[in-house]
Amino acid sequence: MSDRLSSPTGIATHPEPYVRLPTAIHTTTLIILHGTSQTGPQLAGLFLPSKFSLPHTVPANVLTAQVTDNKFTLPECFPGCKFVFPTGAPRKTTVFGGQETHAWFDITDFGDRTKGETQMIDGMRESSLYIAELVRNETELLDGKGDGKVVLAGFSQGSAVGLMLLLTGELHRSGFQPGFGGFIGLSGWLPFRRQIEDIIPVNTSRYICGGIAAGDIDTKRVAATAYIRRLLELDVTNDEWRPSAHYLDAPIFLGHGEMDIKVQFQWGVEMKEVLKKLDIDASFNSYPRLHHWIDEQEMEDVAGFLGTVWQGET
């Protein structure tokens, strides 16, 4: 089931997102970003049918599905949720020999994500702005309610670009942070991790973001945000935006398989450590037998996280 979401003006043309409409009154939205070699519809076809046991944070009395094995899918757990699976704009991808794919940004080497970082920037900037616009659209559809109705999730490269969007502060700058409920990152990594980590301990009084010295608010967070915004060329001349002390306080769930060799488990651990240094409270969950995908336990944990964020909204 799908409806139409147009691409934001001034951003590269993206294929129409796949949308799974709610089966009850629309109360929440989950936007889910695909990996490097996928599209939105492909991820939806694998993600939505995944079954798991009901977590305690999802009230059993809200379920509308008839089941025989006590296993549920996310749409069954959250009948009021709209699931949006966008697709990255067509772009040449180095790791696939320059072939045009729907990657969110360029990848040079699956074995070393620090290679070709400069080539990542254009795609990451464009994709971040596109995803931010999707979050705004969904927030407005839910009457702009400031109670965390919209959650962003990503798998693999989708997790990477989603986390970078959070760190840019663009959701806060654009004024719709109150409607943003949290972030779910599965099998992901943090692009430019080394550079961001190097920013944290320095004297950050020289970093300016939105016309205000970073040290005047939250030195570590704003220094990182200022660096990323300059890196992605997101700063706007005469922009009056000033980040609040809590602009990165939305809950974050991170999941990673310990047997993942495509996006190495250690990269996920390193991502978590950088977020910890930024005083960002991210829950990091590891899965001993999981490779580069999702499994039943991880999906149950994701549903539990959503149940907590949405607090009974279905």
In tens, the pLDDT along 246-295 reads: 778 899 999 999 999 999 999 999 999 999 999 898 999 999 999 999 99
The CATH number given to whatever domain includes residue 249 is: 3.40.50.1820
**Residue 12 belongs to a domain:** no
CA distance 28 to 139: 9
Question: Among 45, 131, 120, which residue's Cα sits nearest to residue 87?
Answer: 131
The whole-number average pLDDT for the span 63-86 is 84
**Residue 253 belongs to a domain:** yes
**Residue 3 belongs to a domain:** no
**Residue 5 belongs to a domain:** no
**Residue 302 belongs to a domain:** yes
Provide long-range contacts, Cβ within 8 A and 24+ apart, for 1-10: 5/84, 5/86, 5/134, 5/137, 7/130, 8/129, 8/130, 8/133, 8/134
The residue type found at 63 is: L
**Residue 7 belongs to a domain:** no
pLDDT at 234 over 50: yes
CA distance 298 to 234: 34
- Domains contained in the chain, number: 1
**Residue 4 belongs to a domain:** no
**Residue 1 belongs to a domain:** no
The whole-number average pLDDT for the span 97-105 is 96
The domain of 161 spans: 18-310
The whole-number average pLDDT for the span 97-125 is 96
Percent of the chain with pLDDT over 70: 82
